[in-house]
Amino acid sequence: MSKAASNPITHDRFDYSPIVDRPVLRWPNGARVAVWVIPNIEHFMFDRPSTSITAVTTRFVPDVLNYSWRDYGVRVGIWRMMEVMEKYRIRGTVALNSDVCEHYPRIIEEGNNLGWEWMGHGKNNSILMAEKDKDEERDLISHVVKTITAGTGKHPRGWLGPALTETHNTLDILAEAGIEYVCDWVNDEQPYPIRVKSGSLLSIPYSSEVNDIPAILDGKQSAESFGQMIKDQFDVLYEDGASTGRVMSICLHPFLIGHPFRSKYFAEALQHITSRQDVWLATGSEIIDWYRQNNG
């Protein structure tokens, strides 16, 4: 938007809205919490650094240690995640690099069999959205949307930027491309509208903390403590949801949570969540559709 672009110290994308002053939000069947699980399924270029388990080899090209550690996610980790989530009848809303459609179509096939949703997550996780000019970004987003549509059979309705990156133009371009919700803004526990030049766009709660990369790699949490974090987050949101509905996101990467010693605690957390009444296990699009239909 022109105001946001001309004044980089502020923005005009949405107004300040304290959650205590909003109308009561109710989920289907009186659920207190809408829980959605977001597996980030990604492709990484062989000649560039990215998320790493160790800094020792990141200066090398190729960095076989860290590249192959990430590659575990699409070869093994995602299949373990799918088994765990299917056991608890949770469908994923995948943050999908469009390059996955080309390189790992077997994952797309199985995700479709499980009824998972696919949302855009850039071309790959070696190319971020920041510092691109408007035309370059429009071309990139168009490519991602078209590739995911062709590869999965459905136009993506949601978007998560690689590393949650944006430019001043991203939200307008996403709305132009038919994207209906975005996850980059980790500032709420309920959906809310974002102003765009044309069309409409909603923000849906995502998390930079209930997220295995910041928790495990940056925060050095154990697998057990991360599982407990998920349960603690749910418990408080469940209590808060008695007065007005909340959204809980569980943000995961198969090259981390897909390892056996971590997957064990992920499964325990899902068992804890699904053992409670008044919980809505939803996809991103289901949350957005309900919110639009019931909250103007």
Q: Is the pTM of this model over 0.85?
A: yes
CA angle, corner 157, sides to 170 and 200, nearest 5? 60
Local structure of 259: helix, strand or coil: coil
- The pLDDT tens digits of the residues spanning 13-36 come to 999 999 999 999 999 999 999 999
Instruction: Read off the pLDDT of each residue in 241-245 and give the average, rounded to a whole number.
Output: 98
- The pLDDT tens digits of the residues spanning 117-171 come to 999 999 999 999 988 999 999 999 999 999 999 999 999 999 999 999 999 999 9
Name the nearest CA neighbour of 120 among 89, 159, 164, 84: 159
Give Cβ neighbours of residue 174 (< 8 Å, ≥ 6 apart): 141, 159, 182, 196, 201
Give Cβ neighbours of residue 133 (< 8 Å, ≥ 6 apart): none
Give Cβ neighbours of residue 109 (< 8 Å, ≥ 6 apart): none
Q: Distance between terminal CA atoms of the chain?
A: 23
Residue type, 224: E
Q: Which CATH superfamily is domain 25-294 in?
A: Glycoside hydrolase/deacetylase (3.20.20.370)
How far is residue 104's CA from residue 173's CA, in Å, rounded to a whole number?
27
The Cα-based distances of 135 to 10, 131, 142, 190 in angstroms read 23, 12, 11, 32
How far is residue 85's CA from residue 59's CA, in Å, rounded to a whole number?
36
Is the predicted pLDDT of residue 3 greater than 50, yes or no? no
The Cα-based distances of 222 to 5, 216, 261 in angstroms read 41, 7, 10
Outline where 29-130 has alpha helix (H): 64-72, 78-87, 99-103, 105-113
Is the predicted pLDDT of residue 181 greater than 50, yes or no? yes
